[in-house]
Amino acid sequence: MNEQKLTPPKFALNNPQTPPLCSPYSNFTFDHQLKLENLDQKLTTCGTAFKEYYSLQQQKMVDFPLHCNNRSCTNPECKKHRGYLFTKEHRPQINFIDDNTKRPKAIIFTGWVFKQPTNSQQIEYIRKFAQTKMVYLCLLLQTFSLTPYSVHMEFKLKPNGNIYLHYHVVAGYINRLKLVRQRWGRQILYEDAHNIDNLNYYISKYASKTPYFHQPQIQQIYHLLVYKTQMHRFSERKQPILPQSTRYLPIEQLEREAYYTMKQQKKGNTAAFAKFIKSYLDKQNKIETSNLKQITLGEET
């Protein structure tokens, strides 16, 4: 694979002969510090809290773990859940590729290697650079791809701290590949992927993929790179998901329906119903108060 290094202008070099007087990661902005604090809290509590549902098939209450669904989370169950959510959201687009492509292929558009960033400006440079290349790649595919396609951005982390930016494409055939390679300016690896039995799984694995973090600081840098970054694009627009019959009902939905049913039937005067209604209203007031505090805190920051 042809990996070419790109050194952004005015990037500080991490020279071991002249170490910095303080930690290089102290150069993050206050906004980034808040993001990292939220990340630490989410990773710590991922999978430890549970939400209660009512199973229509089993006719009993069941608990499901709550995952953070963060791209930098290494929890195996959280990674599976991210893949599930991605497949659920993009299944029509993936099926469109599968239905209109006889032999889907995995294509790697090789990219650029960045030195490990040490401040917020360098991280933002890499993010904007990656997004710009993502848009340009989609324009190339829109012009030269003869089949539907999907594009997936990936930051591969090297043991020495370098970051390798490249893109995975799933498509049937790209016309004038030599010209596309010339315009892309990097090597393009064309791999036959017709033996993929489950295209949904093959594409969704990019959403659940988390690199190995050699250092805690690398995980923080990766989080700031991928935070609210569009890393996946499809040639087909996302279609609205049709409502499907559910097997589980959230406990909040049952409480809400019970509350309005009791209120309409005016059975709230009895001791049992009055106790339930008071408990439900107290719970709703706590939720509204918590949401108001979060909104106020967001306005202050």
Q: Is 150 helix (H, G, I), strand (E, B) or coil?
A: strand
- The confidence score (pLDDT) of residue 62 equals 79
Rounded-to-integer distance, Cα 191 and Cα 225, Å:
28
Helix axes 199-208, 76-99, angle to 10 degrees: 140
Model pLDDT, residue 286: 66
Rounded distance, CA 210 to CA 82, Å? 11
Give the span between the Cα atoms of 138 and 174, in whole angstroms: 12
pLDDT in tens, 202-260: 888 877 888 888 888 888 899 989 988 889 999 988 766 655 657 777 777 766 766 66
C-alpha–C-alpha distance, residues 112 and 193, integer Å: 24
pLDDT number for residue 140: 95
Of 123, 156, 126, 129, the residue nearest 31 (C-alpha): 123
Q: What is the pLDDT of residue 201?
A: 79
Determine the pLDDT at residue 147: 92
- Mean pLDDT across 70-88: 89
d(CA 220, CA 25): 10
Task: Write down the mean pLDDT value for the chain.
Answer: 77
- Reported as a single tens digit per residue, the pLDDT across 89-113 is 888 888 898 889 888 888 999 999 9
- Predicted confidence band at 12 (pLDDT cuts at 50, 70, 90)? very low
CA distances from 213 to 103, 155, 158, 170 (A): 35, 12, 9, 27
Range name among 47-51, 80-84, 242-246 with the lowest pLDDT average = 242-246
What is the Cα–Cα distance from 249 to 170, expressed in whole angstroms?
36
Tell me, what's the pLDDT at 149? 93
Tokens in use for 169? Answer: 């494409």
| Alpha helix ranges (H) inside 46-119 | 76-99
pLDDT for 299 equals 45
Q: What are phi and psi of 95, to 5 degrees?
A: -65, -35
pLDDT of 11 > 60? The answer is no
Q: Which residue has the higher pLDDT, 301 or 123?
A: 123
pLDDT for 9 beyond 70: no
Quote the pLDDT of residue 270.
59
Residue 150 is predicted with a pLDDT of 93
Domain residue extents for the chain: 4-234, 251-300
* Between 272 and 52, the higher pLDDT residue: 52
CB of 27 within 8 A of CB of 119? yes
The pLDDT assigned to 13 comes to 33
Q: Kindly tell me if the per-residue pLDDT of 5 is higher than 80.
A: no
Residues 82/208, Cβ–Cβ less than 8 Å: yes
Write out the two tokens for 293: 């505090």
pLDDT tens for residues 169-206?
999 889 999 999 999 999 999 765 555 567 887 888 87
Spatial contact of 211 and 156, defined as CB atoms under 8 Å apart: yes
Residue 197 confidence (pLDDT): 63
The full 3-state SS of 162-208, as one line of letters, equals CEEEEEEEEECCECCHHHHHHHHCCCEEEEECCCCCCHHHHHHHHHH
